[in-house]
A and B are shown apart, each in its own frame.
Chain A
Amino acid sequence: MAKAVLQGIAVSTGIAVGKCFFLNRGPGSVRHVTVAADKVESEAIRLVEAVEAVAASFAGARELLDDSAGGIQVEVLDSHLLICRDPKLSGEALKRVREQRMSAEWALEETVSSIAETFSRIVSPYIRERMEDVRLVADRIIRHLSGDASAQSTGNERGILLAHDLSPGDAIGLNPERIFSFATEQGGKTSHTGILARSLRIPALVGVTGLCDSLRGGELLIVDALKGRLLVEPDEAELAEYLQVQEQYAAYDMRIRKLAARPAETLDGQRIAVLANVESAAEAGTVLKSGGEGVGLVRTEFGYITRATLPDEEELYNEYRAMAEALAPGKVTFRTLDVGAEKVFSGRVVPDEANPALGLRAIRYCIRHQDIFRTQLRAVLRASAHGNVSLMFPLISGVGELRLAKSILNEAKQELAAGRIPFDREMPVGIMVELPSAVLMADDLAREVDFFSIGTNDLIQYSLGVDRGNRHVAHMHQPLHPAIVRAIKQVVDMAHREGISVSVCGEMAADPYCLPILLGMPVDELSLAPQSIPAIKHLIRHSDADKCRQLLSHALGAPTIRSISNMVRQLLYQCFPEDVSFFVSQQSMDA
């Protein structure tokens, strides 16, 4: 038995075995020491030197970035550098050392809490969030002061990298060839760590509770980024087992990737389009390499969130056009800005709402802020002249709202036509089906658009009334709930009756345990994270559509999650006895 097993979230799949080392451990406890009067000046020098050393490390990382990386990382490092040398931070801390004879660490800690107090009174959450940067910088200085050797990690260690959290700056100093895997205590599915690990194709876990407390560094670990857990000091049997799984997974992964370009057609000849969900044009190459036939969902909000000012039409157009051109003749489906809830983008602040998920978000926000909406619509329309572009509106609740959005789109088209600016007049326009009201109105909505795209994450949240971010109820967020299966079936039937196609673009599309249900509907298109495409295409090619239809007809009569889940499991074990162990499912199978 392993000494301990820690649970985490797998953000990049695979298995890694190796010794671990810490890059950083997060904020440690700071000793509160009063410095002797004759030592005050040397304590002050110690602080100044630490500040300069950390500033130099930011500046160094910043220099490395200039050529290769994008603007956001440069901006982050620039602001870290400014904060590091800020008179309010280092200056005030120095004053506390000299005037109150505090140790350097203590002085910094006190300074950070007084800055935090000032910031806590600021209404704008965007500015308030900068406090995180202050903490990160101060934490680095404190670690440097306390001589934490790991803070000066050269990145030359071989093995599994552990960290409290990874900042873009941290990640740049690392040598990816020597790192088999990542695990961090902080972070969620979309954190920087995950994006980095996926681009390096190494297994990674984030959100590993207890990581920094229960590990010292140097232990032998197994990172199981299939099941989302970390085994500390495994015994020989576990080691042997995992080495075997690792080998099998590597072989499996290589096999399915080799075949990723082949079309997704079931054994009995049913064709289904498999596309990718992306956030930026930079991912186009990954989409093609993974076997994506196009992009079923561009989350355009990432072009807004990762920056401080609103992008203008030209910028958006260039980004969208690059994407359309890179993937042509493949389709690229732009979802209009889906912001709101508590999210802040481009420094604009969405008002505090008691119930953000039910508040001014997505299409509602765009209809309220039509200047932003029009700029984006014009950019998408202009890009449509350069490839196979589609557009969809998120969170549509009914026909009236859809018509309003479409009338704004038509005005944008007229403006462009009047200015003789080219765009695709036949550009398909669709909606995201995410609200129960849209499910109920699917027949009327289908007559007004060219396609549906079912956003399963939100559809589940709104249909089952479950906030997946709330740990007390997260386990109830179940894609195989009978209500969800029936809702999707209704949407697919209504759409097909009106002759339009249906795509599924939530996490369900990447979940092997949901695939037979979706194939049975049958949906026309799946859109998922590029790294999951090879596996899903492989499964489709080895599925029997007829069996899936039979399964679905039973599932539609089933009253519980468990009964549907058992049916699916049975089918998968029967058809894919060898693949099942490599599946990563979003749903808990014990429900």
Chain B
Amino acid sequence: MTEDKVSGAEPGKGEGAEKTVFIQDELGLHARPAAKLAQAAQRFSSQITLEYEDMTVDAKSILDILSLAAGRGASLTIRCKGEDADLAAEQLERLFIMPPDMEQRAGNS
């Protein structure tokens, strides 16, 4: 479901962490999950970016997230840099993991 690429913290740039996630919601990264993601990201002091294809955007900006227009199946890299980077990466990753009943539904369709 997710791949850990525990990156070594680059010297002088604080802690770093990244996660690769896949969008499972069949509607893609639309307004509601984008809002949730931005709200969650804003709780951390780390600098958090999302990478999708050749785009890199600020995960604390709902407008930025929406501008990715990432659809179902898209693979995103969450990159966190800062003191709470590990925690941020872990918590943001969770937003992309579907609750079991949703998975079942996705499987049924």
Whether, in the assembled complex, A348 has its beta carbon less than 8 Å from a beta carbon of chain B, the answer is: yes
The CA of A79 and the CA of B63, in the complex, are separated in Å by 10
Stretch from A114-122, A170-178, A457-465, A525-533 at the B interface = A114-122
Find chain A residues with CB under 8 A from B63 CB: 83, 86, 88-89, 115, 134
A87-B109 contact, Cβ under 8 Å, with A79-B35, A308-B32, A309-B25: no
Stretch from A123-131, A385-393, A503-511, A566-574 at the B interface = A123-131
Find chain A residues with CB under 8 A from B105 CB: 312
Whether, in the assembled complex, B81 has its beta carbon less than 8 Å from a beta carbon of chain A, the answer is: no
Residue of A nearest to B31 (CB): A308
- The proximity string for B residues 11-33 relative to A, scoring 1 for CB distances below 8 Å and 0 otherwise, is 00000000000000111101111
CB distance from A461 to the nearest CB of B (A): 30
Whether, in the assembled complex, A352 has its beta carbon less than 8 Å from a beta carbon of chain B, the answer is: no
Whether, in the assembled complex, B92 has its beta carbon less than 8 Å from a beta carbon of chain A, the answer is: no
**Considering residues A123, A126, A127, which has the most beta carbons from chain B within 10 angstroms of its beta carbon?**
A127
**Would you call A347 and B62 a contact (CB within 8 A)?**
no
**Would you call A346 and B35 a contact (CB within 8 A)?**
no
Find chain A residues with CB under 8 A from B75 CB: none
A347-B61 contact, Cβ under 8 Å, with A130-B66, A371-B108: no
Find chain B residues with CB under 8 A from A309 CB: 25, 27, 30, 32
**Would you call A371 and B69 a contact (CB within 8 A)?**
no
**Would you call B35 and A82 a contact (CB within 8 A)?**
yes
Q: Give the number of residues in A that approach B within 8 Å (Cβ atoms).
A: 27
Residue of A nearest to B106 (CB): A371
Find chain A residues with CB under 8 A from B84 CB: none
Find chain A residues with CB under 8 A from B28 CB: 124, 347
- How many inter-chain residue pairs (CB < 8 Å) link A and B? 67
**Would you call B31 and A79 a contact (CB within 8 A)?**
yes
**Would you call B61 and A127 a contact (CB within 8 A)?**
no
Give chain B interface residues in 1-60, CB to chain A under 8 Å.
25-28, 30-33, 35, 38-39, 58, 60
CB distance from A412 to the nearest CB of B (A): 13
CB distance from B60 to the nearest CB of A (A): 6
**Would you call B31 and A122 a contact (CB within 8 A)?**
no
Chain A binding surface, main DSSP class: helix
CB distance from B42 to the nearest CB of A (A): 8
**Would you call B27 and A82 a contact (CB within 8 A)?**
no
- The proximity string for A residues 77-118 relative to B, scoring 1 for CB distances below 8 Å and 0 otherwise, is 011001100111100000000000000000000000001001
Among the listed A87, A115, A347, which residue makes an inter-chain contact with B30, where contact means beta carbons less than 8 Å apart?
Answer: A347
Give chain A interface residues in 290-320, CB to chain B under 8 Å.
308-310, 312
Find chain B residues with CB under 8 A from A130 CB: 31, 66
The CA of A346 and the CA of B39, in the complex, are separated in Å by 21
Whether, in the assembled complex, B67 has its beta carbon less than 8 Å from a beta carbon of chain A, the answer is: yes
Find chain A residues with CB under 8 A from B62 CB: 79, 82-83, 86
**Would you call B32 and A122 a contact (CB within 8 A)?**
no
Whether, in the assembled complex, A75 has its beta carbon less than 8 Å from a beta carbon of chain B, the answer is: yes
Whether, in the assembled complex, B83 has its beta carbon less than 8 Å from a beta carbon of chain A, the answer is: no
The CA of A316 and the CA of B63, in the complex, are separated in Å by 31
Among the listed A75, A88, A134, A310, which residue makes an inter-chain contact with B26, where contact means beta carbons less than 8 Å apart?
Answer: A310
The CA of A118 and the CA of B105, in the complex, are separated in Å by 34
- Not counting A75-B32, A82-B39, A86-B62, a sample of 8 additional A-B residue pairs whose C-beta atoms are within 8 angstroms of each other reads A78-B35, A79-B62, A88-B63, A89-B63, A123-B69, A130-B66, A308-B33, A309-B32
20 A-B pairs (CB sep. < 8 Å): A75-B35, A79-B35, A82-B39, A83-B62, A87-B58, A87-B61, A89-B63, A115-B63, A123-B69, A124-B30, A126-B31, A127-B30, A127-B31, A127-B66, A308-B32, A308-B33, A309-B27, A310-B27, A312-B105, A348-B27
